[in-house]
Structure 1
């Protein structure tokens, strides 16, 4: 088995990027989901679930201090990493409430114009990160703005099997993983507890429950009329009302990953 895909999503719920190598820090993939769009009034997080047009936003790091935003019909905008004196904004992501730096008026105006509603852009430094649910993680395991866990892994064979069941090829980006493994059996990742990729070890902590976002074409943001692949997943991957595809991971340290690295199941 080997690592065949590496993905990062600098802005939560915006377009992903495929990389040849990545760094891992205390919050998962370095630079992954460190920015988030929130409602200007309530501070509640905004995603493609409500605003499918977010799929058309490209957010790319320019070094480690700037984010470049682009979208069809919009001028590009460079957003500086908020400094230590930046205004803190109260935001809500699922059940977590936190105070994080606001990225300023220019970014808020750009996103509000694009999305057709008043919103703000926020960023999460490591010191402001959330504790991962201790039912699945250790105290001190932190996550940025990902839904619940720092890393998501999917086996390529699992996607191939699902595509065959649906009757058309499905894009991996529909499922927004960080890591893709080739060479395993379909859904083999469901039974893994610990793995090693290169020299780094990972705890496999919880299956990933899937939502309506999987029915959005990652290129166009259009929702599939037949609600696929969620419809098919419900026929064989539903458990206690949730539909699972992929596994959430926590890294046991920091380091580098690159495509083609060997993947070994330790437990």
Structure 2
């Protein structure tokens, strides 16, 4: 098995950033993955005491499909975030300053219009990642499973609909579900798969149009009897993972 693609998503709900390699750390997500979020104004989130909340408390594709049309890029060294929002001038803002965060929140809130609730604010929280899981880790997709879905629905699907961190080849479709509660080796890291990835309405969104064009959860249930695609894993031992690295699985947990 082979690592084909690596991605991070610095801002929850916004665009992916392709990576050539990552340095995984024990018990953590990929560096800068879901580091930031636009918090809805009525959400009970406290940056000083961060905790997991369901995704609808933040700007997210599940609820805000037009976010697919926002292009973002984050520089982890400088803290600068660039945004290209339809109908607005490009923005380059400092995520480490109150003024920069306020300008990001204002631009995204204007674009979301009626979907922005209360006074949304853009934030990060120390040692917190705005993932859809309470357990920190990375998400993996078997390309053969994605291809099986494509064959069933009769069309090619953008792999970024599924917002995984790592995409790999070399395993039969759906065989990765047998990894749950077992360990795998990826590059120089050791992971433990802890659950299958249940797909939500975010996968309905066409990333080129910002519109919902395919009900992926329903199609998965219709053709395969479940709404799952991919798995989640926690990092047991950190290490370097790069494109082209091998996966070895499963090992006894």
**Where do residues 4-19 of structure 1 align in structure 2 (5 Å cutoff)?**
4-19=4-19
SS at 1:169's partner residue?
coil
The structure in which a higher percent of residues are strand is 1
Q: List alignment gaps of at least 5 residues for structure 2.
A: 45-56
Q: Which residue is 1:73 aligned to? A: 87
Q: Which residue is 2:191 aligned to? A: 202
Aligned equivalents of 2:68, 2:187: Cα separation in 1: 32
The TM-score with structure 1 as length reference comes to 0.79
SS at 1:245's partner residue?
strand
Q: Would you say the 8 A contact 1:23–1:254 is kept in 2?
A: yes
Q: Which residue is 2:74 aligned to? A: 61
Greater RCO (CA < 8 Å, at least 6 residues apart): 2
SS at 1:205's partner residue?
strand
Q: Which residue is 2:51 aligned to? A: none
Match of 1:166 among 153, 162, 166: 153
Q: Would you say the 8 A contact 1:166–1:229 is kept in 2?
A: no
CA deviation after TM superposition for structure 1 residue 236, in Å: 4.4
The TM-score with structure 2 as length reference comes to 0.83
Aligned equivalents of 2:138, 2:100: Cα separation in 1: 25
The total of aligned residue pairs comes to: 229
In structure 2, relative to structure 1, the CA distance for the partners of 1:15 and 1:47 (3 Å cut) is: same
Q: Would you say the 8 A contact 1:237–1:244 is kept in 2?
A: no
Aligned equivalents of 2:73, 2:82: Cα separation in 1: 5
CA deviation after TM superposition for structure 1 residue 77, in Å: 2.1
The structure in which a higher percent of residues are helix is 2
How well do the aligned residues superpose, as a CA RMSD in angstroms?
2.0
Runs of 4+ in 1 over 6 A off after TM superposition: none
**Where do residues 118-129 of structure 1 align in structure 2 (5 Å cutoff)?**
118-126=119-127, 129=128
Q: List alignment gaps of at least 5 residues for structure 1.
A: 87-101, 130-143
CA deviation after TM superposition for structure 1 residue 198, in Å: 1.2
